[in-house]
Chains A and B, each alone.
Chain A
Amino acid sequence: MKKINWGRFFGILGLVVYGIFVLFPIYWTINTSFKEVGDVYKVPPSFVPTKFTLEAYRFIFQGTGRLALSNSLIVAIGATLIAVVLGTMASYAYSRYPFTGLTNEGAQFNLLTVRMFPPIAFLLPIFWLWKTLGLLDTHFALIVTYSAFNLPLAVWLLKGFMDSLPRSIEEASYVDGYSFWQTARRVVLPLIGSGLAATVALCWIFIWNEFIIAYLLGGTDVILYTAYLPALRRGMRIMWNQIAALSVLAIIPSVIILVLFRKYLIKIYLR
């Protein structure tokens, strides 16, 4: 009996230690976001803001911070939409019409490549592409680039869902008298609904969290929040509380998604 107690004790202890390890930086960031600037560097450090203030958040909202966040939103929503819509079309076609020959294999292949190559390798030429077109620092360039990068992911995920939909149900719809587009609306889309949701969530997270593309292709007109963060570090005094505030704001969408999808997470990773 004693033996089990010790094992359990250390087990839970280990979990607690790891939990502290995981949560401390997050807690500290939230903590910092509510502090005054001077409070940040105090020794001994204040585990709770000495004076609770929203000045950091105010700064973020009034200034470029809001712009950065809204740019990120626009780009993330736009690119996710495009990637998922195009992904649905492509995955449907690949699932229902296994082409022989180059088209299918070639397509699968370039899907894989985009996944495996480091993005920085793509960025070099893509940067010059947009520069030549004079489209650096535009929403358009960012949205298009992100869509292209996430399309393979969307197709890969959605194809799995498409494959699990029996063709006979679509055919029944045709026999009933519905056209292709009507069938897509009535039958195909509703039945892969959960798959679509998962794909949207995943694509969104990747785009929202992305840094280097945002940094290189964005600029002064279009800043995404991930690129804005390091900008806050320039200057004499680093306004950590502002950085913290922005960080907190940035995490919120992802956390919401995590909480909403927590039951599905396991299923997705089992695939």
Chain B
Amino acid sequence: MIKARSRKIKTPYYLIMPPQILIWVVVIFPLLWAVYISFHDWNPTISPQRTFVGIGNYLNVLRDARFLSALGRMLYYSGLGVTIQLVLGTAIALAIVEYIRSPRWRTTVLVLFLLPMMMAEAVAAQMWTLLITDTGTINNILVWLGFSPVGWRAKELALTTIMIVDIWQWTALPLLIAYAARISIPDGLYESARLDGASKWLILRKITLPYMRVPLAIAFLLRFMDSYKFLDKVFIMTYGGPGTATELPTFYLYQTAFSYFKVGYGAAMSWIFGIIAVVAMFFFWRLAKRMA
């Protein structure tokens, strides 16, 4: 009498199927193939031969000086760049809340400040390239004012320049988050603090910042997560150069895979880099959770 209770397990697999198929075919299988190929030495431009080298590729990546210096650059760039973005973004957000009272002005200013974030990295890169080439706009202005031009794309400055462009574009994100956090703090706290006669700095330290710790930690994570995927600006503004001055790991990976066509080696590198990224992420995630 109790027939198949198949109705109970009515979970609509047909709803899950298409999305899962898409992910599996386009993402998972290629990833698995990448694992496979990473154990081989394969350069299709030389020969269609694939020779098995085991974990040789992985070891070579870890010993690859170029890769390691790329990682170093990334740390400088991510660490410093993201920190500046956070600090600057927070400062601007607080300034907006403090000094601009009318809501309409606030919205306008916010919209304007958020513009850089909305555009493609590639577009931002192009915008800035025009400004920073040796005969670019900024140098033109400097010369016009009587200063000497600056080699923005020279070896010493190139990475910093790109970092500045990144700051220009992405400070908006921590700004937005800080702003949202700031306006969610109840006014009552500020009023009672002012009644108690607290100085502005004290208010900042004791009231504002604690409330913003968690959102800022999230902002940091988000930006950090994005920063190691970074490629567009490097590609367009300096193409890794001059030399390898602005070569970040992603760019080196690109070169390996699509310029030198060392596919197997590139696959190993992408896994190593990916794992480093994920590990770093989890590390920071835990840190952020502990702060909350």
Partner of B118, one of A32, A86, A240, A251: A251
Q: Return the chain B residue nearest A249 by Cβ.
A: B123
* Complex contact A209–B119 (CB within 8 A): yes
Knowing A117-B278, A122-B27, A250-B123, say if A265 contacts B114 (CB, 8 Å): yes
B84 at interface, CB cutoff 8 A: no
* Complex contact B128–A25 (CB within 8 A): yes
Dominant secondary structure of chain A at its interface with chain B? helix
A23 at interface, CB cutoff 8 A: yes
B157 at interface, CB cutoff 8 A: no
- Distance in angstroms from B126 CB to nearest chain A CB is 5
A19 at interface, CB cutoff 8 A: yes
**B229 CB contacts on chain A under 8 angstroms:** 118-120
**B212 CB contacts on chain A under 8 angstroms:** none
* Complex contact B200–A7 (CB within 8 A): yes
**B34 CB contacts on chain A under 8 angstroms:** 121, 124-125
Binary CB contact string for chain A from 77 to 118 against chain B (1 if under 8 A, 0 otherwise): 000001000110110110001010001000100100111111
Partner of B113, one of A22, A115, A211, A257: A22
- Distance in angstroms from A11 CB to nearest chain B CB is 4
**A123 CB contacts on chain B under 8 angstroms:** 257
Q: Interface with A: B11-19, B63-71, B186-194, which one?
A: B11-19
* Complex contact B250–A86 (CB within 8 A): no
Partner of B137, one of A28, A117, A121, A126: A28
Knowing A45-B137, A118-B229, say if A93 contacts B131 (CB, 8 Å): no
8 Å CB interface, B31-89 against A: 31, 33-34, 37, 88
- Counted as pairs of residues, one from A and one from B, with CB atoms less than 8 Å apart, the total is 237
- Distance in angstroms from B263 CB to nearest chain A CB is 7
B140 at interface, CB cutoff 8 A: yes
Q: Interface with B: A54-62, A144-152, A164-172, A192-200, which one?
A: A144-152
A174 at interface, CB cutoff 8 A: no
Dominant secondary structure of chain B at its interface with chain A? helix
Partner of A93, one of B11, B109, B126: B11
8 Å CB interface, A228-271 against B: 229-230, 240, 243-244, 247, 250-251, 254-255, 257-259, 262, 265-266, 269-270
Bound Cα distance from A210 to B187, whole angstroms: 41
**A144 CB contacts on chain B under 8 angstroms:** 22, 26
Bound Cα distance from A43 to B138, whole angstroms: 11
Bound Cα distance from A180 to B96, whole angstroms: 49
- Distance in angstroms from B136 CB to nearest chain A CB is 9
* Complex contact A216–B258 (CB within 8 A): yes
Partner of A118, one of B23, B30, B250: B250
Bound Cα distance from A206 to B2, whole angstroms: 52
Q: Return the chain A residue nearest B257 by Cβ.
A: A124
Partner of B179, one of A90, A215, A257, A266: A266
Q: Return the chain B residue nearest A147 by Cβ.
A: B22
Knowing A23-B112, A89-B15, A128-B263, say if A28 contacts B131 (CB, 8 Å): yes
Q: Return the chain B residue nearest A232 by Cβ.
A: B126
Bound Cα distance from A237 to B33, whole angstroms: 43
8 Å CB interface, A34-81 against B: 40-45
* Complex contact B122–A8 (CB within 8 A): no
Bound Cα distance from A128 to B112, whole angstroms: 41
Bound Cα distance from A205 to B263, whole angstroms: 31
Binary CB contact string for chain B from 107 to 143 against chain A (1 if under 8 A, 0 otherwise): 1011111111011111110111011000101001101
Bound Cα distance from A119 to B16, whole angstroms: 24
Knowing A43-B140, A125-B34, A128-B33, say if A120 contacts B115 (CB, 8 Å): no
B176 at interface, CB cutoff 8 A: yes
B203 at interface, CB cutoff 8 A: no
Bound Cα distance from A120 to B28, whole angstroms: 14
**B11 CB contacts on chain A under 8 angstroms:** 93, 97, 99
* Complex contact A129–B22 (CB within 8 A): no
B6 at interface, CB cutoff 8 A: no
* Complex contact A255–B115 (CB within 8 A): yes
Knowing A7-B200, A97-B12, A107-B20, say if A22 contacts B120 (CB, 8 Å): no
Knowing A21-B168, A97-B11, A126-B26, say if A266 contacts B180 (CB, 8 Å): yes
B184 at interface, CB cutoff 8 A: yes
* Complex contact B235–A211 (CB within 8 A): yes
**B168 CB contacts on chain A under 8 angstroms:** 21-22, 25
**B91 CB contacts on chain A under 8 angstroms:** 14
Q: List 22 A-B contacts (CB under 8 A).
A: A22-B116, A25-B168, A28-B131, A44-B144, A92-B15, A93-B15, A117-B278, A118-B229, A118-B231, A120-B253, A121-B270, A125-B33, A129-B30, A212-B254, A229-B236, A230-B122, A244-B130, A251-B119, A258-B115, A258-B118, A265-B176, A269-B176
Return the 7 tightest CB-CB contacts between A and B, nearest first. A125-B30, A209-B120, A121-B270, A148-B26, A44-B144, A254-B118, A90-B19
